[in-house]
């Protein structure tokens, strides 16, 4: 069976495990290097990127995760997980690091104080019909390189149009929380991508 791990240092791990299981994968939480070695792909959940960063270093997982990403392991990062996949951050705390892998600059807490959490129906390339997306103090993509495919954007009026779902190779990142609610299509898209090997 296809084995997908969820990085379980902090954040909404259980929701991702359930979504993955319901999308046809065998899902396990990953907190140790040995657990990382046994998975075909990884989800980095939403939560708090500064905490996930610190704990990944404390648990000696940062370099192993970076190595697996460099070797081509598929990763889905959501919200804080999107930040962890970004090569560059705007609005990070002093010394904040990421795993990197996607040639993009993300802006933390981009949607602003008053409207930092909201829900919207999002057209995502490759999905049939809009996806109900829950944004909770999420990042958006400020800029990205030529190898990054933009799968969805959000129009913030005077604040501009910003990518909120992107893909580079086998790395997929979303600004929101696809693990909340009952729409499995983004997880299924990821599981299918892992299974097909492209
Ligand atoms: N604001 C959080 C961060 O910077 C992300 C929020 C989330 O994952 N819901 O990590």
Q: Identify the residue whose C-alpha is closest to ligand 1 atom 5.
A: 80
Model confidence pLDDT, tens digit, residues 70-111: 999 999 999 999 999 999 999 999 999 999 999 999 999 998
Model confidence pLDDT, tens digit, residues 142-179: 999 999 999 999 999 888 999 999 999 999 999 999 99
Q: Which atom of ligand 1 is nearest to the CA of 92?
A: 4
Q: Which atom of ligand 1 is nearest to the CA of 49?
A: 10
Element counts in the chain: helices (H) and strands (E) = 6, 12
Would you say the CB of residue 90 lies under 6 angstroms from ligand 1?
A: no
Annotated catalytic residue: which of 15, 16, 144, 177?
Answer: 177
**Which single residue is written with the structure tokens 């359930």?**
18
pLDDT for the residue numbered 163: 98
Q: What is the pTM of this model?
A: 0.97
Catalogue all structural domains in the chain, each as residue range(s) with its CATH number: 3-196 (3.40.50.880)
For this structure, is 3 an active site residue?
no
Burial 112-139 (b: 16+ CB within 10 A, else e): eeeeeeeeeebebeebeeebebbbbbbb
Annotated catalytic residue: which of 79, 144, 162, 187?
Answer: 79
């Amino acid at each position: 069976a296809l084995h997908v791990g969820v990085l379980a240092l902090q954040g909404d791990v259980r929701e991702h495990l359930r979504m993955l299981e319901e999308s046809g994968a065998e899902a396990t939480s990953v907190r140790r290097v040995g657990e990382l070695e046994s998975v075909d792909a990884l989800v980095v959940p939403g939560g708090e990127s500064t905490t996930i960063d610190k704990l990944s270093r404390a648990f000696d997982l940062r370099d192993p995760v970076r190595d697996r990403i460099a070797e081509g392991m598929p990763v889905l990062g959501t919200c804080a997980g999107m930040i962890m996949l970004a090569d560059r951050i705007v609005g990070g705390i002093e010394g904040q690091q990421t795993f990197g892998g996607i040639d993009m600059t993300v802006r933390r807490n981009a949607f602003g104080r008053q409207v930092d959490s909201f829900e919207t129906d999002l057209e995502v390339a490759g999905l049939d019909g809009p996806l109900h997306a829950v944004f909770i103090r999420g990042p958006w993509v400020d800029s990205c390189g030529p190898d990054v495919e933009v799968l969805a954007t959000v129009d913030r009026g005077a604040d501009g149009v910003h990518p909120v779902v992107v893909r580079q190779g086998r790395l997929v990142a979303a600004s929101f929380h696809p693990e909340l609610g009952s729409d499995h299509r983004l997880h299924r898209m990821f599981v299918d991508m892992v299974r097909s090997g492209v």
